[in-house]
Amino acid sequence: MAKTYRVGIIGRTGKGDYGHGVDVAFTKLPNVEIVAVADEHEAGRAAAQKRTNANKSYASYRDMLADEKLDIVAICPRWIDQHRDMLVAAAEAGCHVYMEKPFCRTLAECDDVLNQLEMRHLKLGIAHISQYSPVVDTVRSLLRSGEIGDILELRARGKEDRRGGGEDLWVLGSHVFGLMRTFAGADATSCTATVLQSGHKVTKADVVEGAEGIGPLAGDNLQARYAFPSGAFGHFASRRGMGGSPTRFAIQVFGSKGVLEMESGYLAPAYILRDSSWSPGRTGKSWEKVTSAGIGKPEPRTDGSYEGGHIAAINDLIDAIERQRATRCSAEDARAIIQMIAAVFESHRFGGPVDLPLKARENPLTLMT
C-alpha cells in the first residue's frame, strides 16, 4: 500500500503568509495527511487550520515539530528572514521540506541548510514551479536536438515594476535564473555586474533593508552577465518602473539557428523562432508555439496554474523521497540560484568579474566600505 505522508504546515500571517497557496496545494493530494499548522498570528492560524482541515494548530512551529511526528514540513512564508531557522528546525526533526522561494538570505545560510539536510539524507523541493513544468522538458529536448543550433546567449528580465532593480532580482530573477541554469545545462562560472541607484553606482550609503525579509538591499537599475562553460553568456537586467503590460518577465535563448522564449510559470507555453537572423521583420519567419506536446501542437494538459505547479513539485518531492534521488529543484539548485543573485552585488562591490562559486558567503552589501 502507498504510504500516507504526515505533513506540518508553517505560515506567518502578515509576514509572508502562506506563499502562493502552498498550504492549500497539499489538500489536493490523496497520499497526504495534514496533521497540524503553525502560525504565530492567532486569526491567521485559525483560518489556515480551517482551510486545510488540519487536526491541530500551534502558535510556535518549534512546538509543532517537537510534538508531532511529521514526514514533510511545508515552509510557506514568502518572507525569507526566518527561512534558514525554519529549515534547520525541520531538518533537526528529521523532516523533508517543500518550501516557498527564495531559499535563504545568504550563501552562508544556504550552506548551513544543505549541511543539515545532507547529513540526515533529507530531500527539499522549492517552489520554482517552472522547473516542474513538462514544457521545460520539451524545450530542453529541442535545445539538445539543435533546433535553434548552438546556444549563444540567454537573456532574461524581471517584471520591472515598483520592485525593479534589487528586489526584482531577488523575487522574480530567482525564477528565471532557475530556467537559465536549466537551459544552459550548467552552473555559471563567473559574473560581471553593475548596480545603480538614481543613476549613480551604488555605494554603502545606498544600502537599505529590503522588503519581505530579504535583508540588506540596493539598486533600482542593474545589469548582470554570466559566463557558462559552453561559451554561452547569460544576461539579466531590471530597471524600476520600466515594465509594461504584458511584462518582459521571461527568458529568451538565442541560438545560431533561432530563438526560444519561455515565460516563468507552470505549463506556460514557449515560443520558437526558427530564424538564424533573429529578425522576422527581415525574413518573414514566424514565432511558433511550443507546448508539452511539441512545436505547433495543442497543450494536452489542463493543470496549468500555480497550484498545479505546487502539486507537481510536491509529487516530485515524494517520488524523490521514495526513490532516493534529487528533486527537480533541489537544495543544491536553490543555492546555485541564490549564488547568481549574490554574485551581482559581489561583482559590483569588486568593480569587475567574480568567479563562481563565490568565496564570500555573506551578503556582499554588508561588506561594502
pLDDT in tens, 279-308: 999 999 999 999 999 999 999 999 999 999
Q: How far apart are CA 105 and CA 82, in angstroms?
A: 9
Q: What is the pLDDT of residue 1?
A: 67
CB atoms near residue 289 (< 10 Å): 14
CB atoms near residue 258 (< 10 Å): 21
Instruction: Report the relative pairing of strands 221-227 and 233-239 from DSSP bridges.
Output: antiparallel
Contacts for 278 with CB less than 8 Å, ≥ 6 apart: 254, 258, 259
Question: Which pLDDT tens digit goes with each residue over 239-261?
Answer: 999 999 999 999 999 999 999 99
Nearest alpha-carbon partner for 112 in 89, 96, 94, 93: 89
Q: What is the pLDDT of residue 2?
A: 82
Q: Are 29 and 3 in contact (CB under 8 A)?
A: no
CA 320 to chain centre: 19
Q: Are 225 and 192 in contact (CB under 8 A)?
A: yes
Q: Are 165 and 222 in contact (CB under 8 A)?
A: yes
Which helix H or strand E contains 118, and what residues bound it? helix 107-118
Which 8-state DSSP code applies to residue 93? T
Average pLDDT, the chain: 97
Burial of 205 by CB count in 10 Å (0-12 exposed, 13-18 middle, 19+ buried)?
exposed
Residue 76 pLDDT > 80: yes
Q: Dihedral through CA 359, CA 361, CA 365, CA 369, nearest 10?
A: -50
Cell representation of residue 40: 504565530
Q: pLDDT band at residue 175, thresholds of 50, 70 and 90?
A: very high
Q: What is the pLDDT of residue 289?
A: 98
Q: How far apart are CA 61 and CA 73, in angstroms?
A: 10
Cell representation of residue 339: 549564488
Q: How far apart are CA 220 and CA 166, in angstroms?
A: 6
Nearest alpha-carbon partner for 180 in 134, 226, 230, 213: 226
pTM for the model: 0.97
Question: Which pLDDT tens digit goes with each residue over 309-350?
Answer: 999 999 999 999 999 999 999 999 999 999 999 999 999 999
Domains in the chain: ranges and CATH? 5-122 (3.40.50.720), 133-303+337-364 (3.30.360.10)
Question: Which pLDDT tens digit goes with each residue over 180-223?
Answer: 999 999 999 999 999 999 999 999 999 999 999 999 999 999 99
